[in-house]
Structure 1
Amino acid sequence: MAIVIIGAGSTVFTRMLVSDLMQDAATRDIDLRLVDTDPGRLALATALCRQLVAEVGNAGAQVTAYLDRRQALPGATYVINTILVGGRPGIEADLLIPAKYGITQTVGDTLGIGGISRGLRTIPEILRIARDIEELAPDALFLNYTNPMSMVVMALETATGARHFGLCHSIVNTADELAGYLDVPVADLVWEAAGVNHMAWFTRLESQGLDLYPSLFALPASDPGLVAGDGVRFELMRYFGYFCSESSKHTAEYFSYFLPHDGETERLRIPVGRERLDALDQQQAEHDALAGRLGGVQSLLTEPSNEYAPALIAALESGRPYTFHPNVANQSADGVLIGNLPAEAAVEVACTVRNGAVSLDRVPDLPPGPAALNRQAVAVQQLTVQAVLHHDLDLVHQAALVDPQVSAILKPDQAVALVDELLAAHGPSLPDLRRRRLIAVAPPNTLTHASRKGNAP
């Protein structure tokens, strides 16, 4: 069994995935092929994984490093993708340029103007990876972790024939958080969730046959300290009736209700400013710390994680049953999975592994309010994906104009100027984009509005 990790230089994440693989008998004896374009990071990831193999005393596993993914792909069984196109400079541009226009973001990698920008430079490279897989490892299963998840999955489904799942831990992490909020053992929590990535909704929340939503609604008043750092999701639940699957930090930037309004960042304790860039610095520090531990006596094995890829691979290889929530095309062979979302959407739904095969099951329609919020997100995703696939600059501008936060803060000419500045910053990473129909030239001096106080990273 050959497992290829593309973007293996993300050493903290690679360590977790490989640690999980090494601790399961079904995935211990693997041909592990690590791919990264950074020789230094690749060398560290390779040494780290070889130490993990040695720790479990596994002579049956082998670890090989590749700078060229095409050399790693032939005969692959699984391909795990964790690439970051543009690196830290790309993230900084996605945060700092919109901040000049008064657009505050907390993460900027999934939805909103940051998600659009990242999608434009990420989708083309992932499509190239998928086409390499089709050519060199046509039977491989492509497991994508790279954001913007929904856009990537939508593009893969539209433009390639590669077998794929988009994997994100937001739903299962939220289930753990809800169990903690409600003081219920996570094993006793009965829940169902579905929607789009980073905006799935817990439509069922029970324990021992009791509906737990009344208790969850009461928490902000009965125990405000417990949920103080999750104010955005509790606020959404207050008005839309259901709990959302991504953290409040992420969720805050997906709508126009929070960040554009003075006082809401303080009231809801939304981390803004340089918090995202500081987190990147912390990740680099963790990477450097791993380098210092290689060859030492400390174990590199980690506690088994809740990441889907290792568990999914183990279930497929062993025949064990396994339920997970991947991102897949809403339009399946048996019909639309979520009836009140567009067929073209990428949706996050429960899937089950049985006897080495994955079954996709239709789920009930989402409640009307959450479904409407999902359709709003899907509209921006569709415009961005179609912009990439058809090299259409008009659709990029329209994606920004449809985004809730951009449209709440900027006039159309300002939104166009923001997009054009992001395109200029990312340059060679982007597809060739051309105007197809519109003449949306921003007039001079579009930045006449004041930046929002205290929100620029």
Structure 2
Amino acid sequence: MHDLSGDQHRQGESVVIGFVGGGSRDWAEKLMNLLALTEEFGGTVRLYDLDYESARTNAELGRTIQAQEEAVGDWTYEAVETLEAALDGADFVVCSTQDPPAETFAHDLDIPQEYGIHQTVGDTVGPGGTFRALRSIPQYREIAAAVREHCPDAWVFNFTNPMTVCTRTLYEEFPGINAIGICHEVYHVQEWLADLAVEHLDVDEPAYEEVDVTVKGINHFTWIDEATLRGRDLFEAVDAELAERDLPSYEPGDVADMSVYGGNNEVTLDLYRRYGILPAAGDRHLVEFVTWYLDPIDEPEDIHRWGIKLTPSEHRVESWPEAMREREAILSGEEPVEITDPGEEMVELMKALLGHGAVKTNVNVPNRGQCPDLQDGAVVETNALLTEDSVTPLAAGPLPAPVRSLVETHVTNQETLIEAGFDGDLDLAFRAFRNEPLVTLDPAEIESLFADLVEAERPYLDDYDIAGADVLS
């Protein structure tokens, strides 16, 4: 993110934020912390969730954060019982949704693993990403339709994965929507580049916002072909780092104690040396797009050689109640309330759209030429300039042909899933599933895996013609 102006001419205005998925265990608390530290505008946050009690708990958390002495913002929080109540007249809509992991995400990971398909994340591409998309498309159609009816001029921020499919669904259902997909993966790469600059170029430690990058591609498979800091080419630092590594640098078991969210940029550097362009997402996401890093795996520990880990389904399932316990400990007074800046940009983007300066950062929006070699209308990730009530994507230029061919496969799959989701067509969805690079099975096994996932997640697939699907017969 680059703040291009200090203008703050709409000081103190009141806005309404409708939070869809208001029982969120992560993004809601991040937003509350950021708003507590925001003086430029205040207002009301309405929290809506299918789990009303979780939204109610978050409303109480928001009020608790707001009551702290260091909270300079002026915000009220309320849980509401309907989507319409959350969105009526909203200025901003924040989407952060997740189906119960034990009933969905666990199946997304465990059932493919029974067939020998290992996934490091399972929320964007591959079998897990495909089924998460199929579940999300009907939900995001409903959100878009509600925005169209209750707050058509609102700015919609989507944080939900699969980022591309969810954001694309919003536009397919309501072409006039003002929606952007927001992901922090590029920020983390900017932080890494800043660290490399300190280590290899002997510069004073910069903030990640000082690192200027040209972003192009699709979410979690984004690429950078220019990176500069104070006029210095940062690929010099990347080259120096690559020269010091013997890739892959690890052995199975070496990162057993590392967080599942950790990484050591081994895959990033390997792709850079092979293609001459730098990936701009974490390694645990990248390997699900370029699957030769996962194909040789016989045991989950084998992926450790690239300095990353598989995310076990137990972690996904257990993280939900653990997050709720942490919330309850704060509300009961057992744990202190600490207002901290989580390092996310969502409120800075709101400020820009409200007229408090201009910001340049990476967003996910439909392609209107910013990625000239990718399909028009598909959601792509590039830089954009945010100013008062405006998001202007910035031209990123073409990808190198070998990289473009990798990206295009996933664009085609995502567009196919959108069509399948809107038609309720599981046979069409299966074509995208079968075309996933991670699905390297015998044709009969691919059908069997797809059928097993449908059966396990049937309660979440009501919008699809399961009875009429040829692939399931």
Residue 215 of structure 2 aligns to a residue whose secondary structure is strand
User: Counterpart in 1 of 2:228?
Assistant: 206
Q: Is 1:100 aligned with 2:138?
A: no
Are 1:172 and 1:306, in contact at CA under 8 Å, matched by a contact in 2? no
Structure 1 contact 120–431 (Cα < 8 Å) conserved: no
Q: Name the stretch that deviates more: 369-378 or 166-175.
A: 369-378
Indicate yes or no: 2:276 matched with 1:245. no
Contact 1:24 1:314 in 2 (8 A): no
The partner residue of 2:194 within 171, 176, 179 is 179
Structure-2 change in CA distance of 1:26 and 1:415 (3 Å) = same
With over 3 angstroms needed to count, the CA separation of the structure-2 counterparts of 1:45 and 1:113, relative to structure 1, is same
Output the CA distance in 2 between the equivalents of 1:220 and 1:57: 44
Structure 2 gap ranges (5+): 1-14, 251-263
Whole-Å Cα distance in 1 between the matches of residues 468 and 461 of structure 2?
Answer: 20
Q: Distance in 2 between matches of 1:207 and 1:98?
A: 43
Do 1:86 and 1:429's aligned partners in 2 also have CA atoms closer than 8 Å? Answer: no
The reply to whether residue 130 of structure 1 matches residue 130 of structure 2 is no
- After TM superposition, list the pairs within 5 Å mapping 1:8-407 onto structure 2: 8-27=22-41, 29-55=42-68, 56=70, 60-161=74-175, 162-183=177-198, 185-187=205-207, 188-222=210-244, 229-262=264-297, 265-272=303-310, 274=312, 277-278=314-315, 280-282=317-319, 284-294=321-331, 296=333, 300-331=337-368, 336-406=369-439
For 1:266 and 1:204, the matched residues in 2 are separated by 30
Q: Decide whether aligned partners of structure 1 residues 298 and 225 sit closer, same or farther in structure 2, where only a CA change above 3 A counts.
A: farther
Q: Once the two structures are aligned, what percentage of the paired residues are identical?
A: 26
The 3 A distance-change label for structure 1 pair 427 and 435 is closer
1:338–1:363 CA contact under 8 A, matched in 2: yes
TM-score by length of 1: 0.88
The offset of 1:280, in angstroms, is 5.0
Greater shift in the superposed pair: 107-116 or 35-44: 35-44
Flag the 1:260–1:321 CA change in 2: closer, same or farther, 3 A. Answer: same
Distance, in Å, in 2 between the alignment partners of 1:360 and 1:136 is 26
Q: 1:350 to 1:163 in 2, by over 3 A?
A: same
Deviations 1:41-77 (A, max 9, x none): 2232111100122125669432111122222221111
Q: Counterparts of 2:374 and 2:111 in 1: how far apart (Å)?
A: 32
Deviations 1:362-410 (A, max 9, x none): 221122222222112111111111110122222111111111110xx21
Contact 2:138 2:463 (C-alpha < 8 Å) held by counterparts: no
Residue 2 of structure 1: CA displacement? 0.5
SS of residue matched to 2:26: helix
CA contact (8 A) 2:223 2:278 kept: yes
Residue 256 of structure 2 is matched in structure 1 by none
Are 2:451 and 2:472, in contact at CA under 8 Å, matched by a contact in 1? no
For 1:295 and 1:431, how far apart are their aligned partners in 2?
39
Using the TM superposition, give the Cα deviation of residue 344 of structure 1 relative to its aligned residue in structure 2, in angstroms: 3.1
Q: d(CA) in 2 for partners of 1:269 and 1:343?
A: 36
RMSD across aligned C-alpha pairs, in angstroms?
2.6
Q: Which piece of structure 1 moves more, 390-399 or 218-227?
A: 218-227
Q: CA deviation at 1:30?
A: 0.9
Counting matched residue pairs gives 434
Partner letter of residue 216 of structure 1? V
Alpha-carbon distance in structure 1 between the residues aligned to 2:395 and 2:383: 9
CA–CA separation in structure 1 for the residues paired with 2:435 and 2:332: 52
How far 1:190 moved relative to its partner?
Answer: 3.0
Q: Deviations over 1:135-183 (max 9, x none)?
A: 1122211111111011112222222232211111111121112222332
User: Aligned-pair distance for 1:318?
Assistant: 3.8
Change (3 A) 1:296 1:209: same
Decide whether the 8 Å contact of 1:219 with 1:227 is kept in 2.
no
Provide the C-alpha distance between the structure 1 equivalents of 2:241 and 2:296, rounded to a whole number of angstroms: 24
Aligned CA distance change for structure 1 residues 315 and 227 (closer, same or farther; 3 Å):
farther
TM-score between both structures, scaled by the size of structure 2: 0.85
Contact residue 352 and residue 358 of structure 1 kept, 8 A: yes
2:456 equivalent to 1:425: yes
Q: Give 1:440 deviation, angstroms.
A: 4.2
- Cα distance in 2, alignment partners of residues 262 and 233 from structure 1: 19
Q: Is the 8 A contact 1:175 1:186 kept in 2?
A: no
With over 3 angstroms needed to count, the CA separation of the structure-2 counterparts of 1:294 and 1:441, relative to structure 1, is closer
The answer on whether the counterparts of 1:168 and 1:308 sit within 8 Å (CA) in structure 2 is no
**2:182 and 2:388 mapped to 1: Cα distance?**
21
CA distance in 2, matches of 1:213, 1:178: 9
Q: 1:66 to 1:340 in 2, by over 3 A?
A: same
Say if 2:105 and 2:316, in contact at 8 Å, map to a contact too. Answer: no
Contact 2:158/2:181 (8 A) holds in 1: yes
C-alpha deviation, 1:434, in angstroms: 4.1
Contact 1:112 / 1:403 at 8 angstroms: preserved in 2? yes
Deviation at 1:437, TM superposition (A): 11
* C-alpha contact (below 8 Å) 1:121/1:430 kept by paired residues: yes
